[in-house]
Amino acid sequence: MNKIALIFTGGTIAMKVSSKQQGAVLGLSPDEIVDTLHTLTDFEHLVPHAFADLPSPSITPVRMVALKQVIDSYLKDSEFAGAVIIHGTDTLEETAFFLDVVSTSPKPVVLTGAMKNASEIGYDGMTNLISSIRVVMESHSHGKGVLVVMNYAINAACEVMKTHTLNLDTFKSLDFGPLGIIDDEDVIYFRNQTQRKDYRLRPAISPDVFLIKCYAGLDGRLIDFLVDTGAKGLVLEALGRGNVPPDMMPAITRACHQGIPVVIVSRSPGGRVLDTYGYPGGGKDLIRVGCMLGGSLSGPKARILLMLALGNGFDREGIRHLF
């Protein structure tokens, strides 16, 4: 069991600057990246797979389902130790979380990418790829769920988020810190996830789930429009501890009474939501009309989980328990 699947989806790691398009575009093939990797390391038994050649804004939940099927085809093979998914960074945390929620194998699955393209000084693609392969090879990586490896840090898919548009050290678990690091050839784990949920959901999604970010003065027109045009679920990135402007409440109440699950998370990057406040639009008001709290999940991750919950046929109580 020593083969490692390298599954390429595209992203900055496979980009170069094009004078014609005057910007970074996809220009490196999986074979070129693996050939470069072989000149830098003595890794053996790497099996490249060209799943897609896309920037990560083009990675949709439907493509995530297809990616899961490809990953499973390798993990079911006893000759494979695990898989590295090479992915653009813009939606990497969503794909990582999706794969974590539908994961059924203890074998390590690692997502990685690059913040700089291959034409830039300081290209970080090879460093991140080498680090990711080392994490898959490490026996202590088994059973930790899907991992994200960037800039020598190992983060859990359910905790990590992209925090900066430019910095190499952009993927962070703001509340809890990394699970570990890669130091030279050593993979060092500092902690385990004591609160990790083992979801094991089927990779089936309900597509009409939408995310709304709350702000001062927002009313319910966006919610009314989404409900009237067939929304199956809503995630609200609420203010602070989990509160919304009071003018949103009639539309939220209508959505809940029509059986549409409404999940509340926070637009703050750290901390969890809780029904602390009892004023109009506060957390207790939202719970009273039928909303559900999404814990410490970000808005994009809560949307992924709600899409999967509905795709798996969960009822309201099942969804509440899932979150």
Report, as residue numbers or ranges, the catalytic residues: 12
In the chain, the amino acid numbered 174 is: L
Q: How many CB atoms are located within 10 Å of the residue 85 CB?
A: 27
Residues whose CB is less than 8 angstroms from the CB of residue 270 and which lie 6 or more positions away in sequence, other chains included: 174, 175, 296
3-state secondary structure of 287: helix
Taken as a whole, the chain contains a residue count of 323
**Radius of gyration of the chain from its Cα atoms, rounded to whole angstroms:** 20
What values do phi and psi take at 23, rounded to 5?
-175, 175
Phi first, then psi: what are they for 73, rounded to 5°? Answer: -60, -30
Q: Look up residue 48 and give its DSSP letter.
A: E
Write a three-state SS string for 66-118: HHHHHHHHHHCCCCEEEEEEECCCCCHHHHHHHHHHCCCCCCCEEEECCCCCC
